[in-house]
Amino acid sequence: MAAHLSSGRVNLTALREAGRRELREFLDKCAGSKAIVWDEYLTGPFGLIAQYSLLKEHEVEKMFTLKPGRLPQADVKNIIFFVRPKLELMDIITDNVLREDRGRSPQRDFHILFVPRRSLLCEQWLKEQGVLGSFIHREQYSLDLIPFDGDLLSMESESAFKECYLESDQTSLYHAAKGLMTLQALYGTIPQIFGKGECARHVANMMIRMKREFPGSQNSIFPVFDTLLLLDRNVDLLTPLATQLTYEGLIDEIYGIQNTYVKLPPEKFAPKKQGEGGKDLPTEPKKLQLNSAEELYAEIRDKNFNAVGSVLSKKAKIISAAFEERHHAKTVGEIKQFVSQLPHMQAARSSLANHTSIAELIKDITTSEDFFDNLTVEQEFMSGIDTDKVNNYIEDCIAQKHPLIKILRLVCLQSVCNSGLKQKVLDYYKREILQTYGYEHILTLNNLEKAGLLKPQTSGRNNYPTIRKTLRLWMDDVNEQNPNDISYVYSGYAPLSVRLAQLLARPGWRSIEEVLKMLPGPHFEERQQLPTGLQKKRQHGENRVTLVFFLGGVTYAEIAALRFLSQMEDGGTEYVIATTKLINGTTWMKSLMEKLEPVPF
């Protein structure tokens, strides 16, 4: 079930196990039969920790989605709410509790499990509604870092970027620090901490403080990680704005990957059997899980999309040949051998069929004129061309009322690549956007300005060209098929964040002091003392392990770039990636937009 978590350099199954243990312990506190009422957002992340079977073993008989009104009938002793600490959810819970039939017998007991943390604010809110007392257990389940894959952890906290950079609310940073403490408890103290950015500084401070205040956390586990690198998302605002061009990145850009699942249009996945001709075509989207448990996906996910077709066709040939072998199987032994391989071959075939279909779907889009035009403009901006004037393509897109998020991504990209826009240009874009999409978007534009994504050029200086040249962010001779540099993930642009990680490993940040100063926030280094005996003696040729934590989100293309560095033969460093949320330009923009519909509750 979770074998893919142990495939990497660090065995993340242990983290998943710890999560399962904590969940079991809580469930056993509420003795007797149970029903769980789910905050729907949580089912995805929880699914990565436990299946229904685990809950069932602990007497969970029914599960419902949290919604206002009366709770469904269920003859259980306990009703447990699994929720994020959000006020609007507290209102729904209140409604549920108040409508509980008090005449029923036996009475049902209520409990709340806050994920990832109890909130005094929420409890006060429940108290104001007069229902706080109805809950016997009010606990927290610190689902801080959820293992997504053998080298990937996410907190799946949607609003983390907005809270950190717009509202200066550091709660998610506190959770990040907590998550890192949990990791250290399982995998040993991380001796070296590097960081860049305000939030990174905060997290490092919190970790050091927590370690000091809970001396019990001093453990005797041999450290698995050599280095922790904390990176603020606002150090590199550029990368998520660009369209990701890796296979996995494009799937996410186009269809959106949620908790490792993607929903795809069903047409290309029609039932395969001919005998069922009369059956209707499926109308519900096809849902697939995407992770390294699938051999083929692990091989192609991080490739530039232009290199995916050839791999798929090679695989097809291999599988065909393998099936052909049945004709050559003469002896009983040979036939037996063939049959024993059948299940594996069938899985491989099915996997190939799925990815061929997905690749076709994506290709329809990447070959469209508009995709090409959009990419052209992005690449112009990133390579520093015409960033200081109103762009025709953006103007055209507004006139044709393309989705607002697309416009915002492009305008922000231009702004970031020019260290802010000339006031005249900025005013022009603003006016066009407000007139075409509605004046109320002035609130969103304001948010983007506060986050530093869209701003007037104040210093009168454009630092981006210096940063681009020093960090070699634009590579002209990119090789998409057999890449030799991380820039392949955006077909030319090397993600700034990953370049920083790469340069830290070799030759060290001292070489880029000047540029680091141009990027926002402090950069720093901390060391955590290890007890003697735990200090590592590196075997010759053994790679270092670095945990890169992206505060405010990371894209699949950046992950691909780090994996590429891990696999470089003379790289010397393997990377594990952690983040507050897996993002792409669209989901990121959405999280920064003002909610224009009043919240109904």
Partner 1 sequence: MSRARADEEEYWHSSKFRAFTFDDEDDELSQLKESKRAVNSLRDIVDDDDDDDLERVSWSGEPVGSISWSIKETASSNTSSLEGRDSSIQKGSSSYAALPKQASSYSLSSLFKGRNKLPSFQSLSDAFSDTGVKNYAPELRRPKAEYKDYSSDWSPKDTVRRMQRGKVCSLERFRSLQDKLMLLDEAVAGHDGNVITAVLIFLKRTLRREILFRELEVRQVALCHLIHFLKETGEQKLLLDLLRFLDRTEEVALSQYREHLNIQDVEKRKEFLKGCIGLPFSAEDTSHIQDHYTLLERQIIIEANDRHLETAGQSEIFRKYPRKASILNMPLVTTLFYSCFYHYTEAEGTFSSPTNLKKTFKIPDKQYVLTALAARAKLRAWDDVDALFTTKNWLGYTKKKAPIGFHRVVEILQRNNAPVQVLQEYVRLVEDVETRLNLATKYKCHDVVIETYRDLKDRIQLTAYKCKVERGSAEEEKINSILNN
Within 52-91, which residues bind partner 1 (CB under 8 A)? 52-53, 55, 61-65, 70, 72-74, 85, 87
Report the nearest approach of partner 1 to the CB of residue 436 (Å): 5
Q: Of the ranges 216-224, 370-378, 517-525, 576-584, which one interacts with partner 1 (CB under 8 A)? A: 370-378
Structure tokens that stand for 316 in this block: 């097809």
- For partner 1, the binding residue among 431, 469, 506, 517 (CB under 8 A) is 431
Q: Of the ranges 16-24, 389-397, 511-519, 565-573, which one interacts with partner 1 (CB under 8 A)? A: 389-397
Query: Does residue 31 touch partner 1 according to CB under 8 A?
Result: no
Query: Does residue 403 touch partner 1 according to CB under 8 A?
Result: no
Query: Does residue 294 touch partner 1 according to CB under 8 A?
Result: yes
Query: C-alpha angle 36/42/48, rounded to 5°?
Result: 100
CA 239/CA 234 separation, integer angstroms: 10
Please count the residues of the chain.
601
Residue that is written with structure tokens 């939030």 in the block:
199
Query: Does residue 567 touch partner 1 according to CB under 8 A?
Result: no
- Amino acid identity for residue 554 in this structure: V
Residue that is written with structure tokens 């709660």 in the block:
171
Residues near 478 by Cβ (< 8 Å), separated by ≥ 6?
485, 487, 488, 491, 492
Query: Does residue 20 touch partner 1 according to CB under 8 A?
Result: no
Query: Does residue 484 touch partner 1 according to CB under 8 A?
Result: no
Report the nearest approach of partner 1 to the CB of residue 506 (Å): 26
Query: Does residue 414 touch partner 1 according to CB under 8 A?
Result: no
Strands (E), 421-488: none
CA 225/CA 190 separation, integer angstroms: 6
Report the nearest approach of partner 1 to the CB of residue 523 (Å): 20
Residue that is written with structure tokens 């702004």 in the block:
415
- 234 or 566: whose CB is closer to partner 1? 234
Helix (H, G, I), strand (E, B) or coil at 153: strand
Report the nearest approach of partner 1 to the CB of residue 226 (Å): 26
CA 365/CA 369 separation, integer angstroms: 9
Residues near 313 by Cβ (< 8 Å), separated by ≥ 6?
none
Helix (H, G, I), strand (E, B) or coil at 298: helix
- 219 or 366: whose CB is closer to partner 1? 366
Query: Does residue 335 touch partner 1 according to CB under 8 A?
Result: no
Report the nearest approach of partner 1 to the CB of residue 534 (Å): 27
Query: Does residue 526 touch partner 1 according to CB under 8 A?
Result: no
Report the nearest approach of partner 1 to the CB of residue 62 (Å): 5
Query: Does residue 372 touch partner 1 according to CB under 8 A?
Result: yes
Give the contact letters, 226-265, x = binds to partner 1 (CB under 8 A), - = no: -------------------x---------------x-x--
- For partner 1, the binding residue among 99, 336, 389, 461 (CB under 8 A) is 99
CA dist list (Å): 570 to 174, 546, 560, 561: 36, 15, 18, 16
- 218 or 346: whose CB is closer to partner 1? 346
- For partner 1, the binding residue among 46, 141, 148, 564 (CB under 8 A) is 46
Report the nearest approach of partner 1 to the CB of residue 344 (Å): 10
Q: Of the ranges 354-362, 507-515, 554-562, 574-582, which one interacts with partner 1 (CB under 8 A)? A: 354-362
Query: Does residue 379 touch partner 1 according to CB under 8 A?
Result: yes
Structure tokens that stand for 325 in this block: 């072998």
CA 535/CA 519 separation, integer angstroms: 34
| Residue 422 near residue 456 (C-beta atoms within 8 A) | yes
Report the nearest approach of partner 1 to the CB of residue 391 (Å): 10
- For partner 1, the binding residue among 177, 229, 565, 589 (CB under 8 A) is 177
- 427 or 514: whose CB is closer to partner 1? 427
CA 204/CA 525 separation, integer angstroms: 9
CA 425/CA 417 separation, integer angstroms: 14
Binders in 575-594 for partner 1, by CB under 8 A:
594
Report the nearest approach of partner 1 to the CB of residue 70 (Å): 5
Residue that is written with structure tokens 């908790």 in the block:
259
Report the nearest approach of partner 1 to the CB of residue 594 (Å): 7
Q: Of the ranges 117-125, 188-196, 495-503, 572-580, which one interacts with partner 1 (CB under 8 A)? A: 117-125
Type and span of the H or E element at 24: helix 13-29
Burial class (CB in 10 A: 0-12, 13-18, 19+), 297: buried
Binding-site size, partner 1 (CB under 8 A): 143
Residues near 460 by Cβ (< 8 Å), separated by ≥ 6?
none
Query: Greatest CA separation found in the chain?
Result: 81
